[in-house]
């Protein structure tokens, strides 16, 4: 079983309307959790983070770090159009986020962190083998006193 990571980016100045609410547009990219020489995660983090030093590196160090995205438009086999993050690079822009930075890890699951995610993110996590194996659907663990933010 390959572990996965989903990294999301709030797109500055762009919003969507959902259930009569104006929400910031978020684009995300899913990776296999690997920092091997050939991994897409390593390639993107290197171009974004600006380093190729991985000793002591934690993906959560990227929270709030601005990025510039190259987004490409594709058409799927079903004829529907979709967008994909093609390239991530460093940015010097310090735009204020609308949402708080969020982090979530199945290994450190709390109900509060999980409920802080977008519905689609929750669905992706709930479908993962790791989530199913940990049987977190009926968890009662909460992090009211925790200082960590949800992802």
Contacts of 129 (CB under 8 A, 6+ apart): 1
Q: What does the domain layout of the chain look like in residue ranges? A: 4-100, 102-151
Q: Are 9 and 85 a contacting pair, CB within 8 Å?
A: yes
The predicted-structure confidence for 108-151, as pLDDT tens digits, reads as follows 889 999 998 888 889 988 988 888 887 655 544 444 444 444 44
The predicted-structure confidence for 69-103, as pLDDT tens digits, reads as follows 999 999 999 999 999 999 999 988 877 888 788 88
Q: What is the pTM of this model?
A: 0.77
Beta bridge partners of 105: none
Over residues 25-43, the mean pLDDT reads 91
Model pLDDT, residue 39: 92
Q: Which two tokens stand for residue 118?
A: 């977008």
């Amino acid at each position: 079983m390959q572990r996965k990571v989903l990294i999301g980016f709030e797109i500055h100045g762009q919003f969507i309307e959902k259930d009569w609410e104006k929400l910031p547009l978020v684009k995300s990219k899913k990776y296999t959790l690997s920092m091997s020489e050939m991994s897409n995660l390593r390639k993107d983090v290197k171009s974004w983070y600006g380093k190729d030093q991985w000793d002591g590196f934690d993906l959560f160090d990227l929270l709030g770090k601005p990025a510039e995205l190259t987004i490409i438009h594709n058409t799927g086999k079903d004829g529907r159009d979709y967008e994909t993050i093609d390239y991530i690079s460093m940015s010097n822009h310090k735009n204020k986020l609308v949402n708080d930075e969020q982090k979530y890890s199945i290994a450190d699951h709390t109900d509060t962190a999980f409920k802080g995610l977008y519905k689609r993110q929750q669905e992706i996590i709930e479908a993962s083998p790791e989530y199913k194996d940990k049987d977190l659907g009926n968890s009662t663990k909460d992090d009211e006193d925790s200082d960590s933010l949800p992802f």
